[in-house]
Amino acid sequence: MPHRASHVSLSLCLASMLASLTVNALPAAAAQGAPVASTCPAVTLSQPFLKWGDSSSYQLVAGGSFEGSLVGWTLSGGAQKVAGSEPYGATGTVGSYSLGLPAGASAQSPFTCVEASYKTFRFFARNTGAASKVLVHVTYQTPIGLVSIPVGTVTLTNGWQPTPAMPTGAEVAGGLLGGTAQMALTFTAVTGNSVIDDVFVDPRMR
Distances (CA, A) of 162 to 4, 15, 124, 146: 10, 28, 4, 28
Q: Which one is predicted more confidently, 89 or 144?
A: 89
Domain holding 118, by residue range, is 4-27+45-88+98-203
Ranking 25-34, 50-59, 77-86 by mean pLDDT, the lowest is 25-34
pLDDT at 16: 58
* Residue-level pLDDT at 63: 97
Number of domains, the chain: 1
Which residues, at least 6 apart from 193, have a Cβ–Cβ distance to it below 8 Å? 100, 101, 102, 103, 127, 128, 129, 132
Supply the pLDDT for residue 206: 44
CATH number at residue 105: 2.60.120.260
Residue 37 placed within a domain: no
CA atoms within 13 A on the CB side of 123: 29
pLDDT per residue over 98-123, tens digit each? 999 999 999 999 999 998 888 899 99
Residue 32 located in a structural domain:
no
